[in-house]
């Protein structure tokens, strides 16, 4: 891999800019199942976020690791922000334009 220079930064290579970085801990989200009342933590890969045109059509979903029920919960603005920032896969049902 060749050393490339980071645009806008004189004399700094990509390798030197990231040389001090350590690995980042994966984000986990706390969740609960309404069916079995289980409480657990899920990684971003276990959640799906759907952003619709209204509050009624914006939700996140996951499969309960305890009872395997399909769980769907509403997602307000703050939840959407947290899930998207944490790398949760997102499906947009409407255009943002």
Q: What is the mean pLDDT of residues 2-25?
A: 60
Of 58, 43, 40, nearest to 88 by C-alpha is 43
What was the pLDDT predicted at 55? 86
For the entire predicted model, the pTM comes to: 0.69
Summarised one tens digit per residue, pLDDT across range 47-70 is: 999 999 988 899 999 999 999 999
The domain limits of the chain are 31-92
């Amino acid at each position: 891999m060749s050393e490339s220079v980071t645009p806008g930064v004189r004399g700094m290579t990509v390798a030197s800019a990231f040389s001090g970085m350590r690995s980042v801990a994966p984000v986990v989200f706390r969740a609960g199942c309404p069916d079995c009342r289980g409480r657990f933590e899920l990684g971003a890969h276990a959640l799906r976020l759907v952003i619709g045109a209204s509050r009624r059509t914006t939700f996140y979903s996951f499969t309960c690791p305890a009872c395997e029920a399909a769980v769907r919960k509403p997602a307000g603005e703050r939840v959407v922000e947290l899930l998207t920032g944490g790398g949760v896969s997102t499906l947009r049902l409407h255009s943002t334009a």
